[in-house]
Amino acid sequence: MHVETIQRILETAPYASLALRGKDGMSVIPVSFAGDTEAIFFHGKKGGRKMGAIRHSSHLFVSIVELGSLIPSYFSSEEGLACPATQFFASVEIEGAARELHSSNEKARALEKLMRKYQPEGHYLPLDNEPRYAKALEATAVVEIAVEQIRTKVKYGQKLPAERWERIHRFLAKRGTALDLETLRRMEHYRKKEKSNGNS
């Protein structure tokens, strides 16, 4: 997957799932996040289960999913079988080392990234060098994950036989939700890329 596509998913995905190993075993926790292919950031309560697990083991796995359309079985086949039902998506899996940020400046910069992602229209006081944020910054745990490895998966029907791909395309166009229209664009993009790579 191209770096620009990975970055788009990181910028638009509403949450990430963290796989954590704490003293009581494994858990998966959803978090709001922001970042890029070098590092991602999230926050939480200093005394919460999430931070306890990170302090126990700083090696983390992060899963981020961009959902495409749900594909009912009859979109894909007229045989009446349930098997062709599927979900289109693209995913990014990150493996990396977590580091809890302690200085107010580092925390402010990381939280500013989150604000720019989730409230891009602004209408808030910047966090850096604003005294009224001092108590909140002190009370909040902020974590940076340094990206060590990225794995990706794309499932937008790019490897389907032409007849099946075209049938799904027709049904999505007919249903025509906003997500369907975006899925159609991605289907066409990845199909073209697959053909240019000589793999179809």
Q: pLDDT by residue (tens digit) across 127-137?
A: 988 999 999 99
Provide the pLDDT for residue 200: 40
Sign of the alpha-carbon dihedral angle for 176, 181, 184, 188: positive
Helices (H), the chain: 3-12, 49-56, 73-76, 104-118, 134-139, 162-175, 178-196
Q: In what order do the strands lie in the sheet with 140-155?
A: 25-31, 16-22, 59-71, 86-101, 140-155, 39-45, 34-35
Tokens read off for 68? 């495409």
Contact 50, 21 (CB under 8 A): no
Which of the four pLDDT bands, split at 50, 70 and 90, describes residue 167? very high
The fold adopted by the segment(s) 3-69+89-155 is Pnp Oxidase; Chain A (2.30.110)
Q: pLDDT by residue (tens digit) across 26-67?
A: 999 999 999 999 999 999 999 888 999 999 999 999 999 999
Boundaries of every domain in the chain: 3-69+89-155
Tokens read off for 176? 């025509």
Rounded distance between C-alpha atoms, residue 134 and residue 19, angstroms: 30
Provide the pLDDT for residue 44: 93
Is residue 198 scored above 90 in pLDDT?
Answer: no
Q: pLDDT by residue (tens digit) across 57-114?
A: 999 999 999 999 999 999 999 999 999 999 999 999 999 999 999 999 999 999 999 9
pTM: predicted TM-score of the whole model, two decimal places? 0.88
Which of the four pLDDT bands, split at 50, 70 and 90, describes residue 199? low
Residue type, 173: A
Question: Rounded to an integer, what is the distance from CA 198 to the centroid of its chain?
Answer: 29
